Structure 1
């Protein structure tokens, strides 16, 4: 079946390759049927947390290597890792909720019999399980979830309305690849709590399909997208830089971890060269792909660099 979505009229020099997109979706559907996980079954919710193990590896924690970090006891460092993990998973829940709502709106315009529609429905099912898994791990860790501010909720309500064409897939990649790059490194760290390590293994496996689908969506549109679509998609993703910089150093995390001056801790984290190294490493695969897709515009690049995600 040839997918007609995202096509231009017959006068367009290069046609959208709907057959190839359908083939990708069909392959991912088969992969989903054989490599999907139910977190309620896959994670051992009854196992006790292991004494002395971290909820994120120390070297990726925002204050790692600073004077403030060096003055902490081991128990205080582990508590900070618990709070940063809970915050990261909370942000993951927010984003996967956003992606599902954008895909639901997209499905109103798509052919319900197309393989691409079927894979998008499958991906939404994956994301629902991920949100459940994230929430249960936060609860199991003994932390509390972090809630969105009113301004964040307003943005989340509005964003699905503009997530169309290339922008849909670029925003998807911004939300997924930053975490995926770090999880691939962290999931085998021997200092990690087993329940968190298993969460990361499941998430990396299933997100690989989502990332592949989004990257293919970007590249399929590359020959047919117009100048305006390219200009918008190549630059607006840069707004993710200051947003993630603020989220990754949320003073509320430091307050819950018992740090006396949480705002000062956030300033220290933002200036921390070790944390800068971590954020650059997280963004590197996506930055490379955006350049390959001719979607790293001057404003987008400037915003990511000023926020510490580019060297």
Structure 2
């Protein structure tokens, strides 16, 4: 009889082979010298937070492009923070385990991937002509606690949640010819490498979640709802609007009230929300948070 651990061992072994065949070095595999293309977006236009609002209609084409650049830079900063937290958590997962096992070896491979991704995102911010966005102090404090004390199930649940959500948008960026070529290349690399992380995390969760007590399951649901709230809040970064030459207070209000923003959130959560509902990670009081954020369809 094949056990969940056997399936995870086989999955990890297969992913190690895939990693050897399909990994990238952004120093070599991204042409950082290629010029930016005049008039091309940094995000698909329909994904800009103010798209469809009266404020957006008043912007010149140049201001709209600038806003798309700053929104990309802000999201890349959030990506660096997330990758940093995840590599700490994955390192904790590997710390006391048998390094000869495929699971641990893939976890170490994943850490190497995340380090390269952080550097790649930082270089992209510089290449598009923006500046890096600092992480909010509250998020920094929460991150220190999270990477130090989060239990293993929370690690895989957070990894899968964040990677699945952002993967949806990066797949779109990679395929959208209206987007800057260098942005599409970075998105394509990230999608390929993160697909392995997503696959591994799913298998880990399917092994862990059925073993959780009712109380631990409810705590994990609450934790994930908190991650959703944080992503929703940080999406409307006042600094990105300020750097784009807009009134940050008015722009944040317009972005939060924009129904297209909620539709974008639903698009990002289209795969992960039904999956988490299916395996029991959405339920009880946490369900309202997912609904309020637009991540869960009725």
- Residue matched to 1:118: 105
Per the TM alignment, residue 16 of structure 1 is displaced from its structure 2 partner at its CA by 6.4
- Residue matched to 1:273: 259
Deviations 1:268-302 (A, max 9, x none): 11111111111111012110110121111222221
- CA distance, structure 1, for counterparts of residue 178 and residue 53 of structure 2: 20
Tell me if the contact between 1:279 and 1:308 (Cα under 8 Å) persists in the aligned partners.
yes
* 1:89-100 equivalent positions in 2, closer than 5 A: 89-100=76-87
From 27, 41, 64, give the equivalent of 1:40.
27
Tell me if the contact between 2:236 and 2:252 (Cα under 8 Å) persists in the aligned partners.
yes
Tell me if the contact between 1:235 and 1:297 (Cα under 8 Å) persists in the aligned partners.
no
- Residue matched to 1:23: 10
Question: For 2:38, what is the secondary structure of its paired residue?
Answer: coil
Deviations 1:234-274 (A, max 9, x none): 23200122211111111111000000x21111111111111
Task: Provide structure 2 residue ranges, at least 5 long, that are not aligned to the other structure.
Answer: none
Residue 107 in structure 1 maps to residue 91 in structure 2: no
From 167, 173, 197, give the equivalent of 2:160.
173
Tell me if the contact between 1:83 and 1:257 (Cα under 8 Å) persists in the aligned partners.
yes
Question: For 1:298, what is the secondary structure of its paired residue?
Answer: coil
* 1:1-311 equivalent positions in 2, closer than 5 A: 17-259=4-246, 261-311=247-297
Question: For 1:49, what is the secondary structure of its paired residue?
Answer: coil
Moved over 4 A (4+): none
- CA distance, structure 2, for counterparts of residue 103 and residue 166 of structure 1: 11
Question: For 1:157, what is the secondary structure of its paired residue?
Answer: helix
TM-score w.r.t. the length of structure 2 is 0.96
Task: Provide structure 1 residue ranges, at least 5 long, that are not aligned to the other structure.
Answer: 1-14
Tell me if the contact between 1:57 and 1:189 (Cα under 8 Å) persists in the aligned partners.
yes
